[in-house]
Every structure is written in C-alpha cells, then in structure tokens.
Amino acid sequence: MPSIDGKRFLASLHALGECGALEGGGVNRLALTDADKSGRDWAVNRMRELDMDVTIDAIGNIVAVYRGTEELPPVMTGSHIDTVRTGGLYDGNYGVLAGLEVIATLRDRGIRSRRPIAVAVFTNEEGARFQPDMMGSLVYVGDLPLEQALTTQDAEGRTVGEELERIGYRGHEAVGSPRVDHFVELHIEQGPVLHRRGIPVGVVEGVQGISWTEFTFEGVSNHAGTTPMELRSDAGYVAACLTTFAHDLALGYGGRQIATVGSVRLTPNLVNVIPNRAVVTVDLRNTDAQALERAEREVLAFAMQAAQTQKVTCRHRSLARFDPVAFDASVVDLVAREAERLGLNVLRMPSGAGHDAQMLARVCPTGMIFVPSIDGLSHNVREDTAPDDLIQGTQLLLQILLRLANRPS
Amino acid sequence: MPSIDGKRFLASLHALGECGALEGGGVNRLALTDADKSGRDWAVNRMRELDMDVTIDAIGNIVAVYRGTEELPPVMTGSHIDTVRTGGLYDGNYGVLAGLEVIATLRDRGIRSRRPIAVAVFTNEEGARFQPDMMGSLVYVGDLPLEQALTTQDAEGRTVGEELERIGYRGHEAVGSPRVDHFVELHIEQGPVLHRRGIPVGVVEGVQGISWTEFTFEGVSNHAGTTPMELRSDAGYVAACLTTFAHDLALGYGGRQIATVGSVRLTPNLVNVIPNRAVVTVDLRNTDAQALERAEREVLAFAMQAAQTQKVTCRHRSLARFDPVAFDASVVDLVAREAERLGLNVLRMPSGAGHDAQMLARVCPTGMIFVPSIDGLSHNVREDTAPDDLIQGTQLLLQILLRLANRPS
C-alpha cells in the first residue's frame, strides 16, 4: 500500500485555513460568502493540479473525479469546506483535503484503481447561514428540490441562488451526477469520546437523528417599571422557560438525548422594555427515533402551555429534521478491518453531528471514519486534532478507497 | 386662571411626533441620533417663537426660560424627548410640550409671573442607547461627572460627547444652571393603574428604586450534537436560568417588587452551537429600599451559583442604581389641591418608572403629575392617552406653575 505524504497533507490544511482566517486563529467561512468562494477557488485549483475532472452542479457542489481503468461509477469521498461563524481548521475541510491527499499519493505513483475515485465538496453543510444544513448533499441525493434550496433565504433575505451566482458557483452540471458506487467520509469526531479514551479511530455505525425547531413567541412590549408582574405578556420569559425545559428534559431522558438552545433573539432587546417578541431555536438529537419523537412532542407541548400561561402567542416551524441513520454494515466492517490492519484501535460509535454521509447513505453503501477532537472542541476556533491522528486517518481512508475501488464486481 | 389651547397643544404633540416617526405609528428617537436632533431642533425653534431664552449646556440639556417680573431662580418644568427604539408620542414629549403650551398661553395674554418659568429638555432620559438613563438630569444636579457622561459609549462604541458634537448639541452653558426654585414634571403614567380605575390625575408621591445589572457569562462554545449534556459549559442556559429566577423572585416577593430581563445577547447565537457567551440584563424595581437590596443580593447570589454549577464564569456590572425617592410633601399637596380645584379626582401613587424629576428632587422641592396611559401601554408604538386627559393635565400644570412662580418669598 502506498503511504500518504503527511507533511504535504498538514500543509494543505493550513493553506485552506488561510481562506476566511480569523484574527487569533480559527476560520469564518459561512456558506456562499466571499470567504467560502476563496476556499472553493483554492480547492478547485488543487483538484485541477491533480488532473481531476472537476464539475460544479446547480447547487454548487464540487465533484472532482480521478479516472479509473474502467468506466464505472466512482467510489466517492469528501465532505464540506463551509464553516460556522467561529469555526476551526478541520471540521469538513479534513475530509475534503484527505481525499485530495489520497489522489495526490496515487498520482505520484501512477496508480489507477479499477473504479474512478471522486472527491466531493458539498454546499452549505453547516446550516449556519441557510437552513437546512447538509443542503448540498440533500439536493444531491434528490431529497430536497433544487428550486426550494435555491430560493432559501439567509437572515438578510439573500437567497442561495443569488449568492451562488455572485460567487460564481452556480454550476451547470445536473445535481446527483455522477451516480456513486460507495461513499466514505473521513471527519473529526467533534466530540470528546475518542480523545478521552485515547482511541485513534472511530468506526461510525450511524448518525443521531436531528430535529431543529424555531419557536416565535409574541406578547406585548411594555415599560419594565410600571407593568405589574401578573399583567405582563413577556415573550422573553417564555423563551427562557423553554430553554431550561429543553435542557432539563435531555438530562432527564439520559442516554443519547441531547438538547441545545443556541439562538435567542429578543425584540426590542432593551434593558427596560418587556420583550414583545422572542425567537428561539431548539436542537434535539437522539440515536433512538422513538425517544427523539417523544422529546419533540414534549418540547412542543411545553412551549404551547408556557405561552398560554404567559398570554403570549406561539408559532413554530421545523428548520431541519433527520431520522437516525444506520450506515452500511459491510462498509462499517471494512473501516474496522482496515484500521486493524494499520494496528489502530477502534471504537464503534454513532455520530452526534449531522454529516453529508448520512445523505449519501440514501443512494449507496456508505460509511464514516472519525479521528479524535482534542477536548471534543468543535464549532470553536480552538478545534484541534493531533497531527498523527490526522495522518493515520488519511492513510486509513486511502486503503479503504483502494479496496472499494479495486474490488471485483 | 387662563385656559390652555387644547387644539394647539394636541397639534404640537403630533408635530413633534413626526420627528423619527415609524412606519405605521410610533416614534424611534433614540438619544443623540439624527432623529433626536430633528426633535431637538423642532423644540428649540418652538421655544424661540415664544421669545424664551434658550441655552444648551455641556451635556446637551436644553433650558428655555420665560422671564418673570423679578430676577429670581425659575420655577422649572420639563422632561425629555428621546424615546426607546419603539416608543410612542407621549413619554417625555408630553411634559416638554405641556410646559411650552403653558408658556404660549401666558404669552398670549401677556402674563408674566413673579419668578421666571423654565422648560427643560433633559438629554438621554431613556437609557436605551447610553446608560445610565436620566443621564442629562443626573449631570444637571451634579451627581454624575460631566466627563464620565461624555465618554459613555453605546453598543457601537460611539461616545455621548462625539454624538452631541455630531448633532450640534454639545453646548457651552455650565451644567446645573440656572439654579432651580421648584421643579414639577408632568408625565403619562406608563402603567395601567389610573386608566383601569378611571382616575384622570395621579399625584406622584415618589419613585421606585431602580437597579439595572448586566451579567456576562462565559463558557465554552462547542458542537451542539456531540457534547454530552454533563460536559457542557452553556452560557445561554445560565442566562435562561437567571431570567426565570428573577421573574419568579419578583412574583414571590409580591408587593411592588418588579423584575425584568429585557435584553439577552448570545454568542455565536447559532442553532447548532452551544453559546460560549451570554450577556443579560436584570432590571429590578421596588419602592421599598430594603426589599430592593435583598432582591439584588438574591439575584447576584443565584447568578454566581448557577454559573459555577454550569462551569461558566460570571461577571456583573451595575448599569444604573437609584434608591427610592420621596417627593416634597408641600409640592405633592399642591398638586392634589389644584387638581381638586379643577374638579379632577386624584390618586396618590408612586412612579414605577424613573423620571428626571427624581434627580431634580435632590436640589429643589419637586413633584410630579401623572395622567392615564390607555391599557398602561408605554415604550410601545401603541402608547396612548385620551385627549381630554392630556389637556386637563396641561391645564393643571399651568395652575401649579403659576402658584409656585407667583408665591411670595
């Protein structure tokens, strides 16, 4: 088996990290911003240096194909390069650049696998600017209509379609092409489990179900000093009650139930005015589909009840909803087997985060590899992974891709 | 007694309301904005039409004096014309324009009182852009150093001094001049009490104590899907706990205790990122100084405790702090007596809101008159008061000012 060039690979992570770099470390490359464009340009340029066939589809997904010896559907790897507002160097970028390092390694040695190997960069995986997250891969597999995705607006009312045009990534390739033979995504864990247990490889068996709901409470704004407590319709208070309820519900469920209120917007948001409007998001996740549905029902019921008690109205809309996903058993086993061949301990685990791989799993046998995140930090400028772990994971990806691409029909 | 011109007076409220008018009603005239400048220009122009001597002091307070027959310290009325972001036509503006209507009425009839009558417009009463609120009157009475007020910054880092310069209201008059003989402020109640009981005049005996504290909680931002609940340092959750605690504390105290969390700012404020930072304000008010101090201690202790439990840091700073104020008994009685002379029922009551009058009360005998707020709405574009109540209140102000200005030494 050929070995990847660890030095070159680590350098590529830092080179891409220059695009949208934040003062003092970290990256802000929100989807379809100028920073995202500069990252895309960097990646496409690298793909062309590797003589890959690069196509951009109508939702801005970038697919680069390294030709095989036969005209067969490609084995695909890849991830995303958009980040949250305060992101790190590895989330998404690691999987994309590891794929390109694999291709560079094969090309250096003139190796061609039987099937082509494709590296994909999917649009707006984070969902930090446009919801839902994993938008590019969701459109790729045909489960989000292209038109609906293109007309999605950000907080300032700009649409995905306009922004794709603006940065020059509204491509002509039909979405969903090429048809994919297998998909394997390499990603940092973004959680503390592997790092705490000192295990270098996570064999990802599936992905937690995800439910994002936005609640909008509307009451009456009024003077904070002259309105008796019992005569208030305080939308901010209801939002706070929902926040604590969701948090405590997750603690109560235990197991893999998680609840996060990450975004709260009060209007007018002044110290001496009772908020007449509160927009709050609840992010619920669980590997257990039934428990996730129960949590959703309880959170909704509480929100309605609390709103009624406080004499405020309650509207809600789903921003994203994905059932738990189980990856293909044969791919999961292959990941474990190849890791053991490399002498790497593995932990079979679910993914707590959503990933493009869960979308590809709907159309082809799919698996994922995790490497440790130091202290579990992610969506954080201090996100980090040990260089050896990054390199070992990329070597493992190379071996898995070659096995899949060279297997007989 | 001369009668004010109700039609002219109501027209003046609507004319001033054009400055910073919001689509669909209401006013946004945050302190020292262009809209505030346009309102100030309108008021100064009106004062000059009435042959008043207009001075602007170093903190931007506007004082217009209608000369008396003797060179004595003036009897002063007035209020403010800055508003919150979503304000109405009456809060503050009513007191200023009623004062000018009184002068217009005296001037029409060639009436000069023994003492001069001054109408003041105090800078930044609302505190919606620069804290503390009541800034202009606080500097006027010498309890906030001019330099400190001028260097106060808004959320964008612009200072009061720069903004006063920019809109042309950084005056040359020394603050605190002229020395004031008596001060009487006419204001809408901004609460529901008078309207609900159908009483046209509130005789204000004093003002609630006010305590504004800003809490900043800092934890660790992290991926919402991969961080087990028990490993989080969620600053937003602590802010929510503090919000519900303060609210429930006020309900528990009962009496005149009020607590409001009007402003919450999360960072990065994204649906799928655990907030690493939450800045939240707590507004506590009570007429009972001891109870107010107890509430402050309990809120602070809870914030520290909750922060520690959630492994987030807690910083806090006071944005404003005023003890309860009792107005001068002789002025309070005069307000009640003159209202009865006009055949108006009165209710003796405290003010739930802070007012410039509570600052002037530190340097001269002071009182306040309230008129009803329909449904108690204030700091709201739907703030309203019945025309008859507005006119009666202004007539009452005229009679009180004449009594005070004409009284023998």
Predicted pLDDT of residue B409: 82
CA B64, B70, B76: angle at the middle one, nearest 5? 35
Q: Give B203-220 pLDDT, tens digit per residue.
A: 999 999 999 999 999 999
E strand residue ranges, A209-249: 209-218
Residue written as token pair 């009865």: B340
B211 sits in which H/E element: strand B209-218
From B395's Cα to the closest Cα of chain A, the distance in A is: 25
Confidence at residue A56, expressed as pLDDT on a 0 to 100 scale: 98
Flag if A377 and B265 touch (Cβ within 8 Å). Answer: no
pLDDT value at position B4?
A: 98
The whole-number pLDDT of residue B157 equals: 96
Closest residue to A270, CB basis, from B85, B190, B237 = B85
Would you say B314 and B185 are in contact if contact means Cβ atoms under 8 Å apart?
Answer: no
Output the pLDDT for position A289: 93
Residue in chain A lying closest to B213 (CA): A271
For residue B53, the one-letter residue type is: D
What pLDDT shows up at residue A26?
A: 96
CATH number, span A209-322: 3.30.70.360
For residue A172, what is the enclosing H or E element? Answer: none
Measure CB to CB from residue B354 to each of A225, A258, A268 and give the nearest one. A225
Q: Do A378 and B226 touch (CB under 8 A)?
A: yes
Please, what sign has the CA dihedral across residues A388, A392, A397, A399? positive
Q: Scanning the structure block, which residue is given the tokens 């840091």?
A: B313
Per-residue confidence (pLDDT) for residue B201, from 0 to 100: 98
Assess whether pLDDT exceeds 90 at residue B226.
Answer: no
| Separation between Cα atoms, residue B215 and residue A8, nearest integer Å | 47
Q: Tell me the pLDDT tens digit for each residue of A70-122.
A: 999 999 999 999 999 999 999 999 999 999 999 999 999 999 999 999 999 99
Q: How far is CA B274 from CA A128, A261, B140, in A?
A: 13, 7, 45
Task: Write out the two tokens for B335.
Answer: 């307000």
The answer on pLDDT for B178 being more than 90 is yes
Q: What is the mean pLDDT of residues B273-286?
A: 97
Q: Which of B192, B225, B230 has the CB atom closest to A353's CB atom?
A: B225
pLDDT tens for each residue of A277-325: 999 999 999 989 999 999 999 999 999 999 999 999 999 999 989 899 9
Q: Which of A222, A284, A371 to mutate: most B Cβ within 10 Å?
A: A222
Interface test with A, best of B266, B271, B277, B351 (most A CBs within 10 A): B271
- Under a CB-based contact definition with an 8 Å cutoff, are residues A187 and A355 in contact? yes
To the nearest whole Å, the CA of A386 is away from the closest chain B CA by: 18
b/e B114-149 (16+ beta carbons within 10 angstroms → b) = bbbbbbbbbbbbbbbbbbbbbbbbbbbbeebebeeb
Mutate which of B84, B86, B213, B260 to disrupt the A interface (most A C-beta within 10 Å)? B260
CB A265 to CB B269 under 8 A?
Answer: yes
Give the model's pLDDT for residue A228: 86
DSSP per residue, B136-153: HHHHHTTSS-HHHHHT-B
Which pLDDT does position B320 carry in this prediction? 87
Q: Contact at 8 Å (CB) between A120 and A18?
A: no
CB contact under 8 A, A227 and B191: yes
The token pair at B79 is 């209020």
- Contacting residues for B148 by C-beta, under 8 A, at least 6 apart: none
Find out whether A191 and A91 touch, Cβ atoms under 8 Å: no
CA distance B357 to A259: 48
Residue A174 burial (CB < 10 Å; 0-12/13-18/19+)?
Answer: exposed
- Amino acid B384: pLDDT: 97
Q: How far is CA B229 from CA A374, B277, B292, in A?
A: 18, 17, 35
Contact A262 B224 (CB under 8 A): yes
Q: What is the pTM of this model?
A: 0.71
Q: What is the pLDDT of residues B99-148, one digit of tens each?
A: 999 999 999 999 999 999 999 999 999 999 999 999 999 999 999 999 99
Q: What is the largest CA-CA distance in chain A?
A: 79
Measure CB to CB from residue B376 to each of A227, A260, A352 and give the nearest one: A227
Q: Per-domain residue ranges for chain B?
A: 6-208+324-406, 209-322
Residues of B in contact with A230 (CB under 8 A): 251
Report pLDDT for A118: 98
Q: Do B226 and A376 touch (CB under 8 A)?
A: yes
Q: What is the DSSP letter of B192?
A: S
Q: Which residues of chain A register pLDDT less than 70?
A: none
Average pLDDT, chain B: 96
How far from the centroid of its chain's Cα atoms is residue A263's Cα? 18
Q: Which tokens sit at B136?
A: 């202009």
Task: Rounding to the nearest 10 degrees, give the CA dihedral for residues B103, B108, B110, B116.
Answer: 10
Q: For A352, which of B225, B237, B265 is closest by C-beta distance?
A: B225
Query: Which residue stretches of A18-174 are H helix?
Result: 34-49, 93-108, 135-140, 146-150, 160-167
How crowded is residue B302: how many other Cβ atoms within 10 Å of its Cβ?
16
Contacts of B379 in chain A (CB under 8 A): 221-224, 270, 272-274
User: How far apart are alpha carbons B74 and B223 in whole angstroms?
Assistant: 64
CA B372 from centroid of its chain's CA atoms: 16
Contacting residues of A for B212, CB less than 8 Å apart: 271-272
Q: What is the pLDDT averaged over residues B283-304?
A: 96
pLDDT band (50, 70, 90) for residue B92:
very high
Residue A298 CA from chain centroid, whole number = 26
- Residue B223: pLDDT above 90? no
**The predicted structure's pLDDT at residue A409:** 82
Q: Do B128 and A234 touch (CB under 8 A)?
A: no
CATH 3.40.630.10 correct for A6-208+324-406: yes
Q: Are B245 and B237 in contact (CB under 8 A)?
A: no
To the nearest whole angstrom, how far is the Cα of B48 from the nearest Cα of chain A? 33
The residue of chain A nearest to residue B246, with distances taken between CA atoms, is A237
Q: Which candidate from A212, A226, A234 shows the least CB-CB separation from B352?
A: A226
Which residues of A fall within a CB distance of 8 Å from B306?
A: none
For residue A88, the chain B residue with the least C-alpha distance is: B222
The rounded percent of chain B whose pLDDT value lies above 90 is: 92
DSSP labels for B298-340?
Answer: HHHHHHHHHHHHTT-EEEEEEEEEE--EE--HHHHHHHHHHHH
Q: How many CB atoms lie within 10 A of CB B103?
A: 25
Model pLDDT, residue A230:
87
* pLDDT of B42 higher than 90: yes
Q: What percentage of chain B exceeds 70 in pLDDT?
A: 100
* Closest by CA position to B383, among listed A36, A299, A226: A226
ipTM of the complex: 0.72
Q: Among partner residues B221, B228, B229, which is closest to A380 by beta-carbon distance? A: B221
Rounded CA-CA distance B400/B93 in Å is: 19
Asked if B223 lies within 8 A of A378 by C-beta distance, the reply is: yes
Whether residues B266 and A266 touch (CB distance < 8 A) is answered with no
Q: Chain A to chain B, count of Cβ pairs less than 8 Å apart?
A: 253
CB contact under 8 A, A190 and B127: no
d(CA A263, CA A213): 11
pLDDT at A320: 87
Question: B271 to chain A: which residues are within 8 Å by CB?
Answer: 127, 131, 212, 214, 262-263, 281, 283, 319
